[in-house]
Structure formats: structure tokens, C-alpha cells
């Protein structure tokens, strides 16, 4: 009986799905590390990574992801907070990309791995000041990109994937590890030229 009730509740929630609900952040804790969100591909507008002995996480008060395409470069920005201090932080990955004129074109990122050691890539971390790192390595993996329609209208592209990053900060190694993201990009969150 409980299974039937659960199916009915889930069905009712999905049937009532609208744009406002899709814009919220849903944080499902990871089974192994509940401070991090679980890896999902449902457009939960969530992300997280270990950052040294702390965490870089999504926040309900900050738009989690924005994307800019310009001059054959794609800028993928994750905006959140440092867990212990609640200090705002933005992590920007900039890498070469084929032309992306519209948010719907982001589906071409599906199953795309970006080797961050490529000399054409840059990493920028914004906290209290901006740090552009010249020495770094890692990978950004767009595991899945899917176009979502609401009421038969193309509404957003859901980007889901993982990232790992090691860099030198003030001459000392730093890292972001076990990173994962599941974000919905609408036309409001994408700028291309």
C-alpha cells in the first residue's frame, strides 16, 4: 500500500511541475558524503565539490550556473558558497567550443570531456578577489546534456556531469575534487554572440 501511495504522490508532483519548480535548487545528499549533492541528471540545479578540507556548494540564494559563449570560447560558471564560511565563490571554466548561438545548442556538450590542461583553457576562481590560474590540470566532463520541454515548449537544457581540478595557489597545490553538477540552463542564463 505504501508503494502505491508513493507512486501517486510522485505522479502528482510531476504533473504539477512548472517553470517555478524547475528553477529551484533541490539538494539530494550523496550516500557516501552527505555534505555533497548526489550525482543526478534531473535538472535539480545543484552542484558541489570538495575544496581542500571544505566544500564548494550550491546555495538557494544564488543562481547556480550561467554560460557565456564568445569568440569560440565557452565560459561555464558555477556560483555558490564555501560551506564553512558561507562566503560566495564562483568557479569559471573557459574552454574552446564549436559555435553555440542559443541555449538549445548546449545539447552538443553531451558526453564531452574537456582536458583542462589544454593551453586554450583557463580557470578563474572569484572569492574576495579574482584569481586566474595559469598552472592547473583536471577534467570537466559533460556526461549528459538533454533538452527539456514544458507544455510542448523547449524550456531549458539540463547539463549533468563531473569535474576535478588541481591548481597552484600562492605556489602551493590546491584542489577541487569529486565535483558534480546538474543544472538547467534557460535562455535567461545563456549569453552568446
pLDDT in tens, 138-165: 999 999 999 999 889 999 999 999 999 9
Q: How is residue 161 written as a grid cell?
A: 556531469
27 pLDDT higher than 50: yes
Does residue 152 lie in a domain region? Answer: yes
> Over 117-172, what HEC string results?
CCCCCEEEEECCCEEEECCEEEEEEEEEEEEEEECCEEEEEEEEEEEEEEEEECCE
- Between CA 180 and CA 81, with CA 55 as vertex, the angle to 5 degrees is 95
Does residue 58 lie in a domain region? Answer: yes
Distance (Å, whole) CA 50 – CA 83: 10
Look at the chain and report how many structural domains it folds into: 1
- Residue 89: domain span: 25-192
Does residue 165 lie in a domain region? Answer: yes
The answer, as to whether pTM is greater than 0.85, is yes
In this prediction, residue 135 has a pLDDT band, given cuts at 50, 70 and 90, of: confident
pLDDT at 18: 56
In this prediction, residue 137 has a pLDDT band, given cuts at 50, 70 and 90, of: very high
Higher pLDDT, 87 or 6: 87
100 pLDDT higher than 70: yes
Does residue 168 lie in a domain region? Answer: yes
The average pLDDT across 69-73 equals 96
Amino acid at each position: 500500500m505504501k508503494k502505491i501511495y508513493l507512486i501517486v504522490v510522485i505522479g502528482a508532483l510531476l504533473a504539477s511541475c512548472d517553470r517555478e519548480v524547475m528553477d529551484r535548487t533541490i539538494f539530494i545528499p550523496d550516500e557516501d558524503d552527505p555534505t555533497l549533492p548526489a550525482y543526478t541528471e534531473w535538472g535539480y540545479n545543484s552542484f558541489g565539490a570538495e575544496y581542500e578540507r571544505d566544500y564548494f556548494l550550491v546555495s538557494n540564494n544564488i543562481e547556480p550556473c550561467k554560460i557565456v559563449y564568445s569568440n569560440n570560447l565557452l565560459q561555464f560558471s558555477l556560483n555558490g558558497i564555501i560551506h564553512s564560511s558561507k562566503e560566495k565563490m564562483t568557479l569559471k571554466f573557459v574552454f574552446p567550443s564549436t559555435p553555440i548561438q542559443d541555449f538549445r545548442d548546449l545539447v552538443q556538450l553531451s558526453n564531452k570531456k574537456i582536458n583542462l590542461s589544454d593551453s586554450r583553457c583557463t580557470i578563474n576562481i572569484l572569492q574576495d578577489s579574482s584569481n586566474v590560474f595559469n598552472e592547473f590540470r583536471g577534467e570537466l566532463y559533460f556526461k549528459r546534456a538533454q533538452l527539456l520541454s514544458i507544455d510542448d515548449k523547449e524550456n531549458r537544457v539540463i547539463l549533468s556531469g563531473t569535474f576535478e581540478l588541481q591548481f597552484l595557489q600562492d605556489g602551493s597545490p590546491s584542489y577541487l575534487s569529486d565535483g558534480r553538477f546538474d543544472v538547467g540552463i534557460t535562455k535567461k542564463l545563456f549569453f552568446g554572440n
